[in-house]
Structures are given as structure tokens and as C-alpha cells.
Amino acid sequence: MEFFSGKSICEGIVIGKIRYYSKRRNNIERVLIDDCAAESERFSKAKEIAKKRYIALRDKAAREISEAKAMIFEVYAMLLEDAGFNDSVVDIINSEKANAEYAVAVTGDRLVAKFSQMDDEYFRARSVDVKDICDSLVRILMNESTDIEELNEPVIIAAEDLTPAETVQLDKSKLLSLVTECGTLNSHTAILARTMNLPSLVGVSVDERWDGKFAIVDGIKGQLIVEPDEETLANYRALAEKDRLSKELLMQLKGKPCVTQSGKEIMLYANIGSVDDVDAALENDAAGIGLFRSEFLYLEKSDYPTEEEQYEAYKKVVQAMDGRKVIIRTFDIGADKQADYFNPEQEDNPAMGYRAIRICLDRTDVFKTQLRAIYRAAAHGNVAVMFPMVISLEEVLEIKKICEQVMDDLKNEGVEYGEAEIGIMIETPAAVMISDILADEVDFFSIGTNDLTQFTLAVDRYNSKLDKYYNPHHEAVLRMIRTVIDNGHAGGCWVGICGELGADTSLTDKLISMGIDEISVSPSNILQVKKAIREAEG
């Protein structure tokens, strides 16, 4: 019996046989070519084949998983036409007289490196998507198969890594769990696993010698147990039954009011990072979207997303939520989330540097493009817009002025738009201290406890040496939350929380006693938080 640790994607217990999935590695050599035009044509034909493949996978995912999750393959197909990606490949072919496989691989490596260097886990996970697209193109160019072998019995798939395309190709009726060495909790493959409710792990040192062996996936502790003994197996079978009953009880909360014992209603919303997260929000009974991180539209492109591209993305989310509130946060570019086309400068302390609303108020052309898309999407449902990293009243007044200008422009152009509540994220001590003044100017506050904690405690939350000092339960942080709630209510604002602290059910009762109106968490945490709310005195 051997134990291996990893990070849990989805909680639960799975018992079954391991199937090791081995990937063939492409050995890509640079080959000098004579006809650059012909090589570029090879590249174009490979793209067309890849696009057809992704559209087929989109249709399969829509049938077997969900329409929302299937959108990732449509995005993949669109990325194949990205101007920056294509220009890079063609430039390498022409300037180095190199074969298309090599040009695609080099371009892919550069993009993967860019995303991999980001501190934000969600955007770091996008490197896997870029790698999948480029690997698919290379395999097509090298006439290698892109298909996965069929499963003939229910198994735990163990692999160094799995792409969304590989995951969707697997027979869902025979898939018990995914265990991978690479990947992150926010990769699209992880999101698919959560959507399929597969207890799965990432970050496990996978071994091909496990193939065919019996194992236990403990998605609660984040462990893989290979060849368990009889006693361990019996204990886990009992735990699996208990876990099944617990999940059944949580599912019974779907559709029930999100109210405390005293009858106070709490708005329980979902945090999402892209369009394809909406389905998970709805499946877990989210009453709305409390944080739509719009920067994914910027970080997945090599140039500024157009108004129309943004409008279509926002509209899809708004329409999917069907009247439920959708709070769109304007782009939080900067710090660990860098887009090269913004021409960022090197900063000694980027977390407190040129980012978020500071860029927006400098680059009003880019800011207005996003706001136009948001207000147009608001014509299709219940939309609110909020702004990150605010530290002053002057910023809020300027933001409101720009919003008015955008709505006037849309009206004068005869473009359909809707009204949107205006809110700000409270994630700096400065915003906390003047929250009484800010409350007179906005409709709501959303407390971002992740940044608020690091700024209040002077602790870099990405520095592992400081983990013991990063304490969201610190009395200073809790007092700041109470101050924001009190000042917000006094000024007529409703107040929510969208940081990780919102999912900490040990604090749910305390947050409610402070007067919190809304809690927004990741979709997978919604029902657990709902349970805590319904059990709270209020």
C-alpha cells in the first residue's frame, strides 16, 4: 500500500482500477525548407483540420456535459485565427526558412512561458490550453493520431497531464476519476472534472507502473492510495457511502431559500473566470454572479479585445443567468496578470503598482470600449459593474463621469443599452477608511478579502515564506470588514464579499452577524455555504 499526495479538484471518494494514459512526445526538429509559401499553406490546412476537430469536440461536450463547458472548444477554434499567433508562425517560417511544425512549437513555447509566469492560478492554467492547441497542430502536421484509446471498463485515469480535448474524448460512463501530475485547480480540464462531478487530483507524481492496479482516490484529503490493504479498503468504502449521503443532502438544498434561522435572506452568488463557468454556477444554485473576472478576455488574446468580442461574451453570461444579477468587474490587468500589448514596465512591487483601475483611468480608450460592451450587455438582463483597486473619492467620481459619457454616446448612436448598478471593490485599507464617503457615490461594495488581507497585514500572499503571517481571520481584517458593512449600510449601499473568506464556513455566522448582504464564492462552494447560512442564527 502506497500513499501519494496531490490537490483535490472535486471532493469525494473513488475506488477502482488505474488506467495509465501515456502520451507520445513529439520530437520536433527544425528543418530548412525552400518554399516558404508552400509551408505556410501546410500550416493553413492544418489549422482547418484542427478547427473541424474542435467544433466536433464542442458538439460532443455540449451533448455529454453542458453547452457552457462546450464553449472552450469554440474558443480554441477562434484562437487558431488569432492574428498574433498566426503572424508569429508565418514570420518564423519566412525569416528562418523553417518547417511549420517547428514554427508552431516555438510560438507555442513562447505563449506557454508567458502564461506560466503569472502568479494568478486561473491564468497560469491557460498555458495548458495554449499547449493543447499547438500540440494538436503539430500532430496534424506530422500526420500523428489525435485520438485517445477507448476505455473498456470503469477506471481511474492517471496521466502526466490531460488536455480538455483528451478529457472530452473519454467515455464518461467508464470514467471514475482523473489523477494528473501537471495541471492546476483552475485548468479547463479541472473545470470539466468538477462539472462531471469526478473526484480528481492534480499534482500527483504519476507512475506508469500503476497501470492495472487497484486504488483509492481521496478527494477530501487530496490523496491517492495505490493497492490499499483490506482494512483501508473497508474504511474507505464506508467513507464513500457517507460522502454519497452527504452530497445527496446538499443537493436537497437546491431551490430552497438562502435564509438564516431568523429569516434574513443572504444573496449567494458565484465567482466566475470565463463564460464557460456559468453552467457550474447554475448547477450549484447560484442566485447570481457576484464576480465575473473580465480580464480573461484580455489575457487570452495577443491584442485588445474588440467591443463586439466583449459584448458577445458578456451577453452570453447575462442571457444564461436569465434575470439573475451579473456583476462584471472591469479588467484587473497588471501585477501577475500581464498582457504584453499593454506594454507593461518592470515594477519592483507590482501588486501595489500600475494595475486595474489605474490603467483604466489612464487608458480611457480601452476602458470605454469595455464599458460600452458592458452597458450593451445590460440590455439583455440584470447587470452591475464594479471597479477594482479604488483608493479615492476622485477615482470614483471620474469613473462615474466616464460611465455617463459612454451611455450618452450609445444613446446618441442609437445603440441599445441598459442601466447598470455601479459598485467598487473594497480591497485597500484606504478604501476601507473612506468607505463612509464612497458609499454616497455607489450602489454597492464588494469586499475583496484576498488583497485586503495582504495589504492590511503587509504580507505578500504569493510568498510561501510568509504563509504563517497571511491570516484572513486577523482581528484587523475582521474589523475592516465590519467597518465597510456599517459604512455601506449607513450610506445606502448593499455590501457583499467576493474574496476567499466568503467560502470559509467557520466565519459565515460572524459575517452574517456583521450584516453582510451578499456572499460570492466559487460554484463548487455554493451549496456548502448555503448550508452554513441556513444553519446560522442571523
Residues with catalytic function: 188, 498
Q: Measured between alpha carbons, how far apart are the two ends of the chain, in Å?
A: 47
DSSP per-residue letters across 472-514? TT-HHHHHHHHHHHHHHHHTT-EEEE-SGGGG-TTSHHHHHHH
Sign (positive/negative) of CA torsion 470, 473, 475, 476?
positive
Check: CB of residue 180 under 8 Å from CB of residue 21: no
Here the contacts of 55-64 (C-beta below 8 Å, separation 24 or greater) are 57/165, 57/168, 57/169, 60/168, 60/169, 61/168, 61/192, 64/168, 64/172
Report phi then psi at 415, rounded to 5.
-90, 130
> Looking at the DSSP assignment, which residues form a beta bridge with residue 278?
none
Check: CB of residue 493 under 8 Å from CB of residue 484: no
> Looking at the DSSP assignment, which residues form a beta bridge with residue 80?
none
- CA–CA distances in Å: residue 360 to residues 80, 202, 354, 395, 451: 29, 36, 10, 10, 19
Distance CA 170, CA 57 (A): 11
Distance CA 319, CA 12 (A): 32
